[in-house]
Amino acid sequence: MNRIKLLTLSLLLTLLYSAAFAQQLRVEPAFWWTGMKDTHLQLMLHGDNIRNLTPSLNQAGVALKDVIKVKSPNYLFLNLDLQNAKPGKFTLQLKRGNKTVHRYTYELRQRAASSASRQGFTPADVIYLITPDRFANGNPKNDNVKGMTEGLNRSDKSGRHGGDITGIIQHLDYIQDMGFTALWVNPVLENNQDRTSYHGYSTTDYYQVDPRFGSNKEYVKLSQQAKERGIKLVMDMILNHIGSEHWWMKDLPTEDWLNFQGDFKTTNHRREAIQDPYAAAYDRKLHTDGWFVESMPDLNQRNELLATYLIQNTLWWIEYADLGGIRMDTYSYPDPDFMSEWTRRVMKEYPNFNIVGEEWSLNPAIIAYWQRGKQNPNGYTSFLPSLMDFPLQGALTTALRDDESGWDTGWLHLYNVLATDFLYADPQNLVVFADNHDMDRIYTQLNQDADLTKLALAFILTTRGIPQVYYGTEILMHNEERGDHGIIRTDFPGGWAGDKVNAFTGKGLSPEQQEMQQFTKKLLNWRKNAAAVHTGKLTHYAPYKGVYVYFREQGDNKVMVILNKNEKPYELELQKFAPQLQRIKQGTDVLTGKTYELGQSKISLPVKAPLILELK
């Protein structure tokens, strides 16, 4: 009897011992898929003094090709070949001699049959941009989480306000009803920083959703439930830098894992140096290798182990969360050759996918440099499909604020920037927007003029490209203190229990806000089926006396857009538009349903308003 008890106790201790070791060993990525086009997989293993342990596995179709040791004794990198692998689980062991020190059960999952052919966001979509901490608090239980440094402080404009993934899920019906078909959510990965962690741009774990936002499973649920409503999920990613509290920082794998490792230097933000034929090498290096701030260590993507890690992490999230797109933060700041390889690898796995890069420049030539298909003088090749069209955004706000008194004022700013589209390899695939989370809200930029805000939205929803709308624009949200990000990213009314105003239901909105919301909803839902503004040919006429006119045409589908800034009645002469209006007798305003007779010489325009006519 005692012998049986001892054997039972010994078995129990062995199991507990194995479980303890399993918990101490970090393996990333934690699981993978069969059926990927690239059959190579690199595992990062992290645990105490594992460098001199011998890894092994015994799984048909899985070959351990290389074991890479680095300076830190606590890492091993394993290169696996999965060419003949089948879905299933196998045991990865780390041994010292004949003794097993670590065991890890690794899983290879079956890749969904349609995964590789997934369609990313296109010009047929409209993207709704959300800052998750400021949209809706669906689960107050995760407002404060043990182990997370920063807790809830809704009274602090730069603090955490409690918005989360559950809050977004709870309001997917609103997003769908408004007419949005894609959802870009600012970063949700763990950001365990001491302060200002709400924005998400200082990642501390690339494989875990921040528990104050929810969990990995909740993020997948968001993707699934959005997809059921015809909404694609666009993930916000950051490959340039991490947060200073990232777990790597306590034990960096190599001496060159970071740029200026141990010798902090700030980036000069001279993005032009990348393309400048006269730029000093010093300026190029400082732009890409310098840090934003000391709390954002800059990653060295020239390190091949780190580069592979980041590429695999991207593929993992696309596959795991069934993503419909990626928005890449600070696109020109990482190593340019790495970004070329990163986009190549992603687009190889998902040929119909879409990625939009952030390059904050008002110079179209700088933006165009990074787009796939662009023939660059220096030979640089990019595989990035889309970019944020900052030049057009800047021209739009300038055009709307400027008067029409001069030969090159007002709408001419916008007209002139669109005229530079010859610089782009694919201008139809640029993301157009009136504002975003990093700039004053469009209603603020336009001095709280609702009519001008409608003109701005009418433009981005009918011009070439893929429109993006920031949450709250539909209800004229604004920021009193210009340039203050904490106020720009203010709470969406109705997202918190006890809110007196609820934009989801309309309760408490002013008449002007309600009108703007209905205007946006009407235009968005019309756009869903307006093929001409998705991919139709764009023909614009030089603005004249405060009126900007352009056409979108795709076969028999024709739309005439008239943007009128005049505050007094204006008669638009139609003669010069004859090439587009041949055999067209009428146009119906998509916003009011009013019919305009186009066979006459003039039409009366609504004052300081857009007129969007479906031509018949």
Q: Which residues of 447-466 are buried (b: 16+ CB within 10 A; e: fewer)?
A: eebbbbbbbbbbbbbbbbbb
Q: Are 103 and 91 in contact (CB under 8 A)?
A: yes
The whole-angstrom separation of Cα 589 and Cα 595 is 6
- Could you say which of 205, 236, 245, 329 is catalytic? 329
Q: Which two tokens stand for residue 120?
A: 């990313």
Distance separating alpha carbons of residues 569 and 592, to the nearest angstrom: 18
Which two tokens mark 196? 């200002």
Please say whether the beta carbons of 125 and 466 come within 8 A. Answer: yes
Angle at CA 40, nearest 5°, toward 38 and 44?
A: 130
Q: Is 358 a catalytic residue?
A: yes
**Do 430 and 409 contact (CB within 8 A), yes or no?**
no
In 3D, which of 463, 461, 459, 457 has the Cα closest to residue 475?
A: 457
Of the residues 150, 358, 359, 474, only one is catalytic, namely 358
Residues 6+ apart with CB under 8 A from 129: 184, 186, 433, 436, 437, 468, 469, 470, 471
53, 225, 537, 552, 585 from 555: Cα distances, Å: 67, 35, 9, 10, 17
Distance CA 456, CA 454 (A): 5
Tell me how many helices (H) and strands (E) the chain has.
16, 26
Q: In terms of DSSP bridges, do strands 325-328 and 63-68 run parallel, antiparallel, or are they unpaired? A: unpaired
Nearby residues of 146 by Cβ (< 8 Å), 6 or more positions away: none
Q: Do you find a cis peptide bond into 140, omega within 30 degrees of 0?
A: no
481 is catalytic: no
Half-sphere exposure of 616 (CA within 13 A, CB side): 9
Residue with tokens 């739309």: 559
Question: Six-digit token pair at 202?
Answer: 């200082």
3-class DSSP string for 184-217: EECCCEECCCCCCHHHCCCCCEEEEECCCCCCHH
Backbone angles phi, psi at 73, to 5 degrees: -75, -5
DSSP state of 105: E
Q: Across 232-353, where does the E strand assignment appear?
A: 232-237, 325-328
Q: Please report, for residues 135, 476, 498, the alpha-carbon distance to residue 506 in angstroms, rounded to integers and kept in the order given.
A: 15, 13, 15
In 3D space, the residue among 291, 499, 467 whose CA is nearest the CA of residue 393 turns out to be 467
Which helix H or strand E contains 68, and what residues bound it?
A: strand 63-68
Rounded to whole angstroms, how far apart are CA atoms 433 and 440? Answer: 13
CA 452 to chain centre: 27
- 3-state secondary structure labels for all residues of 539-576: EEEEEECCEEEEEEEECCEEEEEEEECCCCCEEEECHH
Write down how long the chain is. 616
Where are the alpha helices (H) located in 127-254, listed in sequence order? 165-170, 172-178, 216-228
Catalytic residues: 329, 358
